[in-house]
Each structure stands twice: as structure tokens, then as C-alpha cells.
Structure 1
Amino acid sequence: MTGLSSSKNLGKLDWLAALKRLAIAGEPVILVTVTSVKGSTPREAGTKMVVTAEDFHGTIGGGHLEYRCLEIARDILQKKPDGRARQRESFPLGPALGQCCGGHAEVLFEAVLAEDVEGLAPDAHSLLITPLTCGDGAMYLRALLDGEDIKGLPRTAMEAGREVFIERIGGWRPQVFLFGAGHVGQAVVRALEPLPFEVRWIDSRAEVFPGERPAHVRVEVTDDPDLQVKSAEANALYLVMTHSHQLDLEICERVLRRGDFAYLGLIGSETKRARFVRRLRIKGVTREAVDRMTCPIGIPGISGKHPAEIAASVSAQLLVACERVSAAQRRSREEEPGATDKSLLRGS
């Protein structure tokens, strides 16, 4: 089998970009989607992988399940390289498949043509509907209906007399405001590249930014970060690591006074933290607010000072902060049955 070493990690909507690029270029392509799971499985329902004859993009968890799905997808391509095809397979993840998860996964294999995807332009309130039976047409978007329950998505259901797979195509894509483009800032940007974040990278020195930047990063050259903090969405994440301690202090004060952040991390030592706490308290920032500032940054147990080590540790800390936000949003929805949390439906 070819292509096993060339998998590309895909973000929440990057699979659609890859699919469009390949299909519109005339490359025969299979979209592999995990449509349901039970018990312990490598990835959740809705996970996708884009497969061509020689390559693949994304992952559904690796191991024998992914290997077998690649074989099936390429077998479909070989038999029907120019036509439509849709096939469902069920996989018990036990000894027969060489995986010890013990769960169960159902997977959809779908041949996708350019006409199926070139018009797909999801917005913040889009649901992706994929028919599960060959002959029932291509995937399509529809708007989220008022009051529609999104707690059970993704899921299979009946719609317009057809069995379909329904999933949110957008979802919350956390904003990271990264202040500082030095060595650690650059390492953080590289570490966040495969992760589902939208990064605003801010520094007053245009010359310190690298020439090439990942697609998920927007650079802002400014001497005044106040507008950046004001423009942030609720539950944004802030990393402060500028070339100036005074500027670090001003940014932290603005974020703490705003209050609706998911994470505020300040690079530095325990000594720097103590100095900042004292100065922020003098400025009138409450003790409760100051206690929410993380300094030093990074998860406990990683003491390395190399930029790449700091970046890896901080990336993990940002993911933990996002999990806390998602858990709180899930609890909020469960307390109000049937209510749609619009904050979860921002486009990626």
C-alpha cells in the first residue's frame, strides 16, 4: 500500500479544503467518515480522512482500523475511479482487527466529484447533510433551524425520506492572541499549526515576523495592543511574551479587567509573577482576577527552557483550557434542554 507515510493532519474544516482542491483538479478521491462509535474507539464520530490512490490527508486514529479503511477506499477507487460510489462498513475493534479498544465503529466511504463540493461554502449556522445510501445524491448544506437541538450531533437520522449523517460543519474555533514574535512566540506558532486554533500574532516590530506563516495565523503589527484585546471574542486565550515587561503588564491588566477569557498566560518565572501580582494589585485589579493569570506558563512537570519545549507545554495547556470551556458549555446546554448555544456555532 502506498501513501502511509504522507498523511497530513487536518483541522476541523481543512478536510473540506483538501477535498475541494483534489476533486476540482480531477483527482479521484474518497472521503472516509466515521459515522458512529460505541465504546472505546480511536476517534469520535465525524472524524474524516481524504484518500486518493497515492496519498491521504487526515487520520481516523491510525492502527489497523485506519489501515483497513485505506485499503477499502483504494479498492473503491480502483473499481470506480470516475463515478459515484457510497459504501458503509462496520468494524468491531477487537482481536480480529488487531486493536484492543474493544469498541465499535461504522465508517462511510464516499466517492466525491467536483460538482459535489465546489459550491459548499459553510457559514456559522451550517449543518452538513450526507446521504448514507448510494443513489440518494451528494452531500449538501442546510441552515441550522431555530431551536434545533445540537446536543446529539453528529448523528444519523431520517431527512426528506433518506437516511443521512448530520453534523455541524463549523463549531467553536478558539481564538489565541499571541503577543510577542520572538523565539518562543515563533515556536508556539509552529506548535499550534496542526491544532484547531485561530491565532492573532501581535508585535510592534514588523521585521521579527518570519516570511512564511501558517494559514491559521493573522499577523498584527501595532504599538497598542488595546484594540486587539477589545476585539477578542469571549473565551479567547491570551499568551503574553513581548520584548517589554511594561508592555506585558499593560496587556495582562487589560485582559484581567475584561475578565471573560479562557486562559491568560504570562511567560516568566515565579519572581516575575510576584512582581506582576504586586503591581496589578496596586493598579486596583482584584485578587480574584489576578489569581486567574498563569505564570510561569506550561503544564507542570515540564521544566525545559528550549523554545520548542515551552511551546509544546503551552500548547497542551491551551488544549486543557479549551476542554474546560467546552465542558462548561455542554453543562449549560444540558441545564436548558432544547436550547441552542449560538456561541458554539461560529464558523471556523
Structure 2
Amino acid sequence: MNNWISALANLQTQGEPCVLVTIIEELGSTPRNSGSKMVVSATHTFDTIGGGHLEYKAMQIARDMLVRGQHNTHLERFSLGASLGQCCGGVTVLLFEPMGQVQAQIAVFGAGHVGRALVPLLASLPCRVRWIDSREQEFPEHIPQGVRKIVSEEPVDEIADLPAGSYCIVMTHNHQLDLELTAALLKRNDFAYFGLIGSQTKRVKFEHRLRERGFEAAQLQRMRCPMGLTEVKGKLPVEIAISIAGEIIATYNANFGQHTASAEPIAKLLPISRRSQAIN
């Protein structure tokens, strides 16, 4: 009994979005149980509101809400009858409540000192994190919940698998790898945010090399380097991590509900950071 309770708890622990569907009112000659609930995730359903075509329609609506990233609750009124394959008339009202919607899909390239300080901060936010590095020994023994560790000999190849509208943070141990990751991200150009760790001097050097590869000024402007909030001073890994996390929060709050490449560029939302940053 009450499978939906344990299912909801498990999905929220895993950081997987879902929709809680509840019958809140029903009128008719064959009413269902008011208060019945089911949980709908992208691939599974848990518990039941009575089965039949009504439940099928509810699943469709819930999954459409998940695809659209809808955060608001939604009421739907169903007139039971031929349209829902019911032999008897009646009205059922369902409440759809999105649960555990993530606000950002984040990819962190680099498991050095700043990466190890940053990822736990991001994991505590309503985000999903891919943490990518070629050096398995650099990852801590405990990986925070909601973080997927990816050990890849070719980190650049991981960019193809990122969801559109991702928040991408590049802070590897190798400048050439940083450059190749930057080029691949700018070529794809469907991120909501792209931050590159380093100084203004590093940015100038990268822009010169990227222009030689054919990248235009508008594409280069989407790169945030140096990244992080200027108000957060200091060069300790945790201080840099806090400034970057603050910038991520400011960006997804400003772009709430529109995590796609059409979101407002970060350069228009925040002042340019002039401070240098430690390189992992």
C-alpha cells in the first residue's frame, strides 16, 4: 500500500523529476476513490488512480509536463464518457504536481582542487551534475548524491551527450584540453552557460586561437572567462568555487524555465570578472 510514497521518496533522492497525480474530486455513478494518487516519472509509473483510459490520459499529461519542464501545479477536469471510453457519465478532477524538477543540467570538466570544492556545492542545488575527467585518481572516494562521475580518456567526446541548455564549466589540468573543450562547446553552441576558469590573459590567448579556427565574435562572447561573481574575492579553491556556484545560481534564476541556447547570454546578466583564477 501507498507505493507512491516510497516511489516519490526514491525519485527525489535520486534527483529524478516526476509528477504526483491526485484525484481531488469526482462526480458520477461509478466514482473512483478521491485522494487516490500515482507518481509518474519519464519512464515509470507507481501506484494507480484506478486504471483505464483516464489513468492513461493522466500519464500522457504528466509526461508532457516533464518534457516541458513545467514547475507549476495543474488542474485538469475530465468529463467521463465516450471520449474516455467510459460507459457512464461523470466528472473527475485531477491535480498534477511536478516534483523534483531540476533547474540546471551541469557538466564540470576537471576534478582538480577547484572542481573538488565546486561539485559538492552544485550537488546541494536543484541540479544534476556530470563530473568528467580522464584521471580517475583525482576523484574523491565519495561522490555526492546527484552527481555522475565520468572517467573518460577523451573528455571532449562527452560534449556530444550533453543535454541542450546545459551549464558547462571547464577547469581541467591542461590548457590544450581546455582549448579543445572550448572549441567543441562553442561549435555546438546550444548551452545555457559556459564558464572557463582562468585569467583575462588566458581569455585573450584563447580568443586569438579560436578566431584562427573560424569562430566569430558573437560565439566568443558567450564564453565566460574569467568566471565567477566579482563580489566574491579570494583565490582559495573554495572561494573560487563559491563565486562560480553563485554565478550559476544567478544565471538559472534569471533564465528560470528557459534553459536552452535561447536563454539570455551570461555576459548581459553579470559584469565581466577581471580577477585571475587558479588553474587546477
- TM-score scaled by structure 1? 0.55
CA root-mean-square deviation:
3.3
Matched, 1:235 2:165: yes
- Residue 162 (structure 1) shift: 6.0
Q: 2:19 maps to what in 1?
A: 127
Question: Which digits, 9 at most, give the CA deviation of each residue in 1:133-155, with x for residues without a partner?
Answer: 8x733422341339978879314
Change (3 A) 1:148 1:205: closer
Q: 1:311 maps to what in 2?
A: 241
Q: 2:52 maps to what in 1?
A: none
Question: Which digits, 9 at most, give the CA deviation of each residue in 1:153-188, with x for residues without a partner?
Answer: 314565685665422236455221111101100011
- Residue 253 (structure 1) shift: 0.6
Distance in 2, matches of 1:195 and 1:152, equals 16
Q: 2:50 maps to what in 1?
A: none
Output the amino acid matched with 1:245.
Answer: H
Matched, 1:321 2:237: no
Question: Which digits, 9 at most, give the CA deviation of each residue in 1:42-75, with x for residues without a partner?
Answer: xxxxxxxxxxxxxxxxxxxxxxxxxxxxxxxxxx
Change (3 A) 1:161 1:118: farther
Select the residue among 150, 164, 169 that pairs with 2:99: 169
Q: 1:220 maps to what in 2?
A: 150
Output the amino acid matched with 1:128.
Answer: L
Matched, 1:137 2:56: no
SS of equivalent residue, structure 1 residue 315: helix
- Residue 126 (structure 1) shift: 5.4
The range that moved more, 227-236 or 300-309, is 300-309
Q: 2:72 maps to what in 1?
A: 153
Distance in 1, matches of 2:63 and 2:113, equals 47
Q: Which runs of 5+ in 2 are unaligned?
A: 26-32, 40-57, 79-89, 263-280
The answer to whether the 8 Å contact 1:249/1:276 transfers is yes
Distance in 1, matches of 2:128 and 2:229, equals 21
How many correspondences in the alignment? 218
Output the amino acid matched with 1:136.
Answer: S
The answer to whether the 8 Å contact 2:129/2:146 transfers is yes
Select the residue among 268, 278, 289 that pairs with 2:208: 278
- Residue 301 (structure 1) shift: 1.7
The answer to whether the 8 Å contact 2:106/2:167 transfers is yes
The answer to whether the 8 Å contact 2:123/2:129 transfers is no
Q: Which runs of 5+ in 1 are unaligned?
A: 1-112, 333-348
Matched, 1:207 2:207: no
The answer to whether the 8 Å contact 1:126/1:144 transfers is no
Give me the identity figure in percent: 35
- TM-score scaled by structure 2? 0.67
Output the amino acid matched with 1:145.
Answer: I
Q: 1:117 maps to what in 2?
A: 5
Distance in 2, matches of 1:224 and 1:174, equals 24
- Residue 302 (structure 1) shift: 1.6
Q: 2:120 maps to what in 1?
A: 190
The answer to whether the 8 Å contact 1:127/1:167 transfers is yes
SS of equivalent residue, structure 1 residue 271: helix
SS of equivalent residue, structure 1 residue 261: coil
